[in-house]
């Protein structure tokens, strides 16, 4: 009989403890709030022009530094 009472009491205590919501301790953060605008910077596409002398004709070609591709074919600029 004593074992039953002790078991019943433990079950009641466990049921009571399960219904109590868990509470977290408050944490203070001293770091200031950082907005996305402070670190994100819009940048335009960057290009680099390459020149060459091909059979006496000055030519240029544009390389896209951002995407890593040629933007144009060799284009005649004029005689040297």
Q: 23-75, pLDDT tens digit by residue?
A: 666 766 666 666 655 666 678 899 999 999 999 999 999 999 999 999 999 99
Q: What is the pLDDT of residue 11?
A: 87
pLDDT of residue 80: 64
pLDDT, residue 49, reads: 95
Which pLDDT score is estimated for 25?
Answer: 67
pLDDT value for 79: 76
The per-residue pLDDT for 34 is 62
3 state SS of 19: helix
Which among 54, 49, 48 has a CA at the least distance from the CA of 79?
Answer: 54
Contact 45, 72 (CB under 8 A): no
């Amino acid at each position: 009989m004593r074992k039953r009472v002790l078991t019943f009491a433990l079950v009641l205590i466990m049921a009571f403890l399960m219904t109590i919501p868990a509470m977290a301790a408050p944490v203070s953060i001293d770091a200031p709030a950082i907005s996305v605008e402070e670190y994100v910077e819009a940048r335009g596409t960057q290009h680099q022009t390459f020149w060459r002398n091909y059979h006496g004709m000055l030519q240029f070609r544009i390389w896209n530094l951002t995407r890593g591709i040629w933007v144009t074919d060799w284009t005649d600029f004029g005689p040297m």
